């Protein structure tokens, strides 16, 4: 490691490691669903105030920011998401969640947002206690409801932009099923855009013994599913990427009753806005045509929800972070493959007019990953995000995520 501002700031990593590990285990054991992150937000706010940050709470519901203004210089926004998922934990760790939501459903930090929160708290604390090593403004943003796709947008709608002012760069990271201790960056489209759609098609109900009196929406829905399989295979160019999944069909309640409507829910993933627009248009065209072919008595209804933007990392920003990572992490820094997961982080810098980059850190015990990789069983043996068994190892995951945030922020704020 070179003798830079980051190196000097990170000499104090031992001073935060103890409380970070405790904070992480407590947070993992007490997850909260989207828009319910009240305990999490309260604990984050208390830790930020203890570090000396100017704290602004209840932005877009449970969102908050901690601000450190340290003289003249750039403004760097660093974001962590806070919400958990309705999953029953089966990781077996001593601090596993046994929590339930207000509706009784199980809750688990199955996506690693507890890692993100803990690492950003550690990074903000280190920077707050090392202000002689940098100059500018750090905005530590803790966002609710990433899993609901509207947390970033709600913070923006609730006045985030005038609160934070001009932002020069925005940064974020995600823990992934890679070897712990590693970091990985990628320029350009990195996470896919995602669009979920609920489609209601209408038929005419009748007794199951008299199909001639019906317009069967079950058959109509089945034909739509079959035709939708041609969108990616025949309408998207081979060099482009798209995923179209029909995840749910609901129609009827009894074997001998032909219902009067069916509801399909589907999800689209794309990396290019033109492909995104074309795929959604193809879906609507096919649905309308199949309804007409079946003699549907009413037009279909379309509802688009859970929309995520493509995460399109700025080339110059990414190169700057990648260079800083290479200096600090050495061979532990690498390239991130394009991911088909989606994120609403991009809504923040897109609205704030700031370039951004979003990278990955590993969370899997390195030896376990090596064994699985050598056996060709990574997909079978390594838990992935949203799995009931996904529980990143505490270390070196927390150290690596904290170091990455400090190093990246100081690529703008630091004094060489």
pLDDT at 1: 43
Residues 361 and 328 in one domain: yes
Ranges of residues in the chain whose predicted pLDDT is under 70: 1-3, 416
Give the CB-side neighbour count of residue 87, counting CA atoms within 13 A.
Answer: 23
- Indicate the residue among 293, 308, 323 that finishes a domain: 308
Residues 181 and 234 in one domain: no
Residues 275 and 400 in one domain: no
pLDDT at 415: 80
Residues 74 and 46 in one domain: yes
Residues 296 and 344 in one domain: no
Residue 89's nearest CA partner among 175, 27, 31, 176 is 31
Residues 76 and 158 in one domain: yes
Residue 247, domain CATH: 3.30.70.360
pLDDT at 4: 85
Residues 124 and 177 in one domain: yes
Residues 84 and 211 in one domain: no
Residues 173 and 203 in one domain: no
Residues 58 and 179 in one domain: yes
Residue 13, domain CATH: 3.40.630.10
Residues 304 and 315 in one domain: no
pLDDT at 102: 86
- Indicate the residue among 308, 324, 353 that finishes a domain: 308
- Which H/E stretch holds residue 298? none
Domain range for 317: 5-191+310-413
Count structural domains, the chain.
Answer: 2
- Indicate the residue among 253, 284, 308 that finishes a domain: 308
Q: What is the pTM of this model?
A: 0.93
Q: Using alpha carbons only, give the angle 236, 311, 61 rounded to the nearest 5 degrees.
A: 125
**Whole-angstrom Cα distance, residue 350 to residue 347?**
5
Residues 175 and 299 in one domain: no
Residue 215 DSSP one-character state: B
How does pLDDT run across 307-319, given as a tens digit for each residue?
999 999 999 999 9
pLDDT at 416: 63
Contact criterion met (CB below 8 Å) for 325 and 404: yes
């Amino acid at each position: 490691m070179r003798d830079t501002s980051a190196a000097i700031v990170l000499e104090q990593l031992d001073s935060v490691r103890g409380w970070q590990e405790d904070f992480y285990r407590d947070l993992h054991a007490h997850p909260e669903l989207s828009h319910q992150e009240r305990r999490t937000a309260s604990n984050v706010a208390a830790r930020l105030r203890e570090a000396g940050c100017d704290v602004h709470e209840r932005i877009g519901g449970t969102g908050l920011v901690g601000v450190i203004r340290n003289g003249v210089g750039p403004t760097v926004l660093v974001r962590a998401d806070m919400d958990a998922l309705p999953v029953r934990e089966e990781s077996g760790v001593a601090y596993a969640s046994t929590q339930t939501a207000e509706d009784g459903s199980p809750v688990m930090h199955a996506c690693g947002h507890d890692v993100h929160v803990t690492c950003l708290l550690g990074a903000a604390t280190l920077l707050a206690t090392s202000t002689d090593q940098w100059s500018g403004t750090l905005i530590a943003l803790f966002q609710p409801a990433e899993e609901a796709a509207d947390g970033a947008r709600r913070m923006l709608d609730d006045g985030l932009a005038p609160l934070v002012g001009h932002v020069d760069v925005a940064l974020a990271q995600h823990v992934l099923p890679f070897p712990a201790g590693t970091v990985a960056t990628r320029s350009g489209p990195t996470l896919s855009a995602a669009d979920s759609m609920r489609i209601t098609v209408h038929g005419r109900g009748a007794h199951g013994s008299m199909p001639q009196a019906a317009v069967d929406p079950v058959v109509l829905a089945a034909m739509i599913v079959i035709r939708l399989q041609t969108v990616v295979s025949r309408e998207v160019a081979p060099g482009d990427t798209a995923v179209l999944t029909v995840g749910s069909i609901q129609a009827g309640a009894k074997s001998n009753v032909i219902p009067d409507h069916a509801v399909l829910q589907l999800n689209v993933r794309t990396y290019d806005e033109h492909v995104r627009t074309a795929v959604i248009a193809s879906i609507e065209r096919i649905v309308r045509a199949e309804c007409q072919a079946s003699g549907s008595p009413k037009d279909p209804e379309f509802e688009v929800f859970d929309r995520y933007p493509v995460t399109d990392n700025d080339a110059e920003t990414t190169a700057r972070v990648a260079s800083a990572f290479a200096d600090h992490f050495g061979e532990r820094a690498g390239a991130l493959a394009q991911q088909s997961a989606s994120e609403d982080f991009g809504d923040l810098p897109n609205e704030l007019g700031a370039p951004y980059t979003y990278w990955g850190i590993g969370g899997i015990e390195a030896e376990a990953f090596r064994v699985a990789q050598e056996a060709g069983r990574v997909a079978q043996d390594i838990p992935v995000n949203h799995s009931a068994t996904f529980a990143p190892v505490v270390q070196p995951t927390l150290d690596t995520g904290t170091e990455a945030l400090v190093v990246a922020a100081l690529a703008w704020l630091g004094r060489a």
